[in-house]
Chain A
């Protein structure tokens, strides 16, 4: 077959897939154009003389980082406050999440042992679940904005915001963890007349304790990250310090605070990884 042999040796004259390529290029432009318009995407604005001047001055201020002893002590104490806000918030979140989990877990239903769950308990469980979803869906920053209005500036707003959002998250995930495991032990306990709390403490909890603890520790780490962000709306901690330094264009302080923050996050990361591996 001479014709075939010749055609395999010669590269095609033009790209065989050109039609598809041109079509997808046009489609991408059509989709991206409104996105770029909506986000006022004008990268050249970054490079005009005025904004370059402002950014350049600010960046030059970054070096040297602020290292006076007073400021370092202040940054360290604010870092501790950030961690304390996260810890206290998570503790309150547990106070909210544990009862909600006990109320909403399907595995602990006595009426569901024989066929369908009765209507009353079903709706109680469902409404607790919806309440958790609402708590979780409002971002913690919005909770913090609301609580700053109610209780004033300071760590209280941050603690409450973390407590509500993380309470919702923990409650939902605890429920999922408890329901994804083997239900056999719990069911046997319930069938033989133990109370729901007994079935939880002796059946469900020992089975899932490691997973529950490890998720809680992971969330504690997340809470530290988000408590820094909460400081930006006035909820205390490193974020508030950072916000203040940024508003005064004090680059050196900003760099020091960012370094302290990265160190804090790395420390929490290490602690939580160590704890989770020791739990197995």
Chain B
């Protein structure tokens, strides 16, 4: 008797896969996401009626109408220009301080070569993570107590948060630097400080500069709003005039912020196109 062939003559009849399968990870993720979204809307006491009703729409229209005409008197414009300059200066100085602190923190936070014990690596990285985890605005609110109201606190806040970010990025690029030149110098008995200055740093310097410029771009945007807690720049003007319901002046400041952000975006886009061509 011939044994039946293991291969069926026709394609075996298969049911389509079931829609839900206990081992389907995507299904579980989708279910969890849906549950999270539903729970979020459920637990937040959102006042939908406040902005979808006709009265609310009318009040919102009136609110937007108050923005017009924006205040364009020369003395106020001069004030806004000063605020913009203050914002730019805060971001530039904050980023510069952060770049310096970032390099100083990145050196203990990185393992320079295979034989490096790097005992400080873990604690320094923890410190960097802590600096980075707290947002600029929270740092600004904390530093206001020591530095007083004004742009100085904002500059320090930007510097503290950004040194966490840059320190981490710098440490990564120091660890990823090509080891050859450093190893050659060490083999000649050159001390670690000079190995760092003459072999490792020159190799990664372009990368460090491009990270710093990228963070500067971010910090200009951040500096524009830091003032809302009282730390100087355009944000402080905005919070002040909005608090007093000077809607025309608020509109001018908002326009200045938009122009600043758009200019930074355009500049960085242009610079990237020119340099990567």
A-to-B contact residues, CB < 8 Å = 32, 34-36, 38-42, 45-46, 51, 54-55, 58, 80-81, 83-85, 87-88, 91, 133-134, 137-139, 141-142, 145-146, 149-152, 154-156, 159-160, 225-226, 228-229, 232-233, 236, 239, 242-243, 246, 254, 258, 261-262, 265-266, 275, 278
Residues of B contacting A233 in the complex (Cβ-Cβ under 8 angstroms): 228
Instruction: Contact check, A88 vs B93: say whether CB atoms are below 8 A apart.
Output: no
26 interchain pairs, CB-CB under 8 A:
A32-B93, A36-B93, A39-B89, A39-B154, A41-B152, A46-B146, A81-B44, A83-B40, A84-B40, A84-B41, A88-B44, A139-B221, A139-B225, A141-B228, A149-B242, A152-B47, A156-B44, A156-B51, A159-B44, A226-B135, A232-B141, A236-B44, A242-B141, A258-B134, A262-B133, A278-B29
Given A38-B151, A39-B86, decide whether A54 and B47 contact each other with a Cβ distance below 8 A: no
Given the interface pairs A39-B152, A134-B258, A139-B221, the reply to whether A145 lies near B46 with Cβ below 8 Å is no
Given A156-B46, A265-B133: A246 and B141 interface contact (C-beta under 8 Å) = yes
List chain A residues, Cβ under 8 A from B133. Answer: 261-262, 265-266
Cβ of B197 < 8 Å from any Cβ of A?
no
Nearest A residue (CB) for B86:
A38
B254 touches A142 (CB 8 A): yes
List B contacts of A34 (CB < 8 A).
89
**Do A243 and B141 touch (CB < 8 A)?**
yes
B46 touches A51 (CB 8 A): no
Main secondary structure of the interface of A (DSSP, over half): helix
Closest CB pairs A-B (n = 7): A84-B40, A38-B89, A87-B40, A55-B146, A39-B151, A141-B225, A88-B40
Q: A94–B74 Cα gap in the complex (Å)?
A: 42
Q: Please name all residues of chain B whose beta carbon is closer than 8 Å to the beta carbon of A155 when the two chains form the complex.
A: 44-46
Q: How far is the CA of A127 from the CA of B49 in the complex (A)?
A: 30
Kindly state whether residue B155 has any CB partner on chain A within 8 Å.
yes
Which chain B residues lie closer than 8 Å to A229 at the CB level?
A: 135, 137-138
Q: Which of B218-265 contact A (CB under 8 A)?
A: 221, 224-225, 228-229, 232, 235, 238-239, 242, 254, 257-258, 261-262, 265
Number of A-B residue pairs, CB cutoff 8 Å, is 153
**Which single residue of chain B is at the shortest CB-CB distance from A269?**
B133
Check B106 for interface membership: any CB of A closer than 8 A. Answer: no
Q: Tell me the minimal C-beta distance from B28 to chain A in angstroms.
A: 10
Chain B residue nearest to A237 in the complex (CB): B44
Interface size class of B (residues with CB under 8 A): 35 or more
- Residue B272 lies at the interface, judged by CB distance under 8 Å to chain A: no
Tell me if B138 and A228 are in contact (CB < 8 A).
yes
Report the nearest B residue to A90, measured CB to CB: B37
A145 to B39, CA, bound (A): 26
Question: Cβ of A225: which chain B residues have Cβ within 8 Å of it?
Answer: 135
| Contact indicator B43/A139 (Cβ below 8 Å) | no
C-alpha gap A233/B141 in the complex (Å): 12
Name the distance in Å between B9's Cβ and chain A's nearest Cβ. 34
Chain B contacts of A88 at CB under 8 A? 37, 40-41, 44, 46
Most A C-beta atoms less than 10 A away, residue of B63, B154, B225: B225
Query: Which residues of chain A are within 8 angstroms of B50 by Cβ–Cβ distance?
Result: 150-152, 156
What residues of A have a CB within 8 angstroms of the CB of B239 in the complex?
145
What's the minimum C-beta distance from A167 to chain B, rounded to whole angstroms?
A: 16
In the complex, what residue of chain A is closest to B264 when comparing beta carbons?
A137
Q: Given A54-B145, A88-B44, are A42 and B29 neighbors across the interface (CB < 8 Å)? A: no
Chain B residue contacts of A39, Cβ below 8 A: 86, 89-90, 93, 151-152, 154-155, 232
- Write the chain A residue with the least CB distance to B46: A156
B228-A55 in contact (CB<8A): no
Please indicate which of the listed interface residues A150, A228, A266 has the most CB atoms of chain B within 10 Å of its own CB: A150
Least Cβ–Cβ distance between B266 and chain A, in angstroms: 11
- Contacts A38-B89, A51-B147 given: A150-B51 contact, CB under 8 Å? yes
Residues of A within 8 A of B184 (CB): none
Given contacts A39-B93, A150-B63, A151-B47, contact A246 B142 (CB under 8 A): yes
CA distance A146 to B152 in the complex (A): 26
Contact A38–B85 (Cβ < 8 Å): yes
Q: B46–A159 contact, CB under 8 A?
A: yes
Task: Please determine whether A40 and B40 come into contact, CB atoms closer than 8 angstroms.
Answer: no
Given A45-B147, A152-B47, A242-B138, CB of A138 within 8 Å of CB of B89: no
Q: Are B151's CB and A40's CB within 8 A? A: yes
Query: Are A84's CB and B39's CB within 8 A?
Result: yes
Which residues of B have CB within 8 Å of A146?
A: 63
- Apart from the given pairs A81-B43, A91-B37, A142-B254, 8 other A-B contacts in the complex at a CB distance below 8 Å: A38-B90, A39-B93, A58-B145, A87-B40, A150-B60, A152-B50, A156-B47, A261-B133
Residues of A within 8 A of B265 (CB): 137
- B130 contacts partner chain A, Cβ-Cβ < 8 Å: yes
Smallest CB–CB gap between B133 and chain A, Å?
Answer: 5
Query: Can you name the residue of chain A whose Cβ is closest to the Cβ of B221?
Result: A139
Give the distance to chain B from A245, nearest Cβ to Cβ, in Å: 10
Partner of B152, one of A45, A138, A145, A159: A45
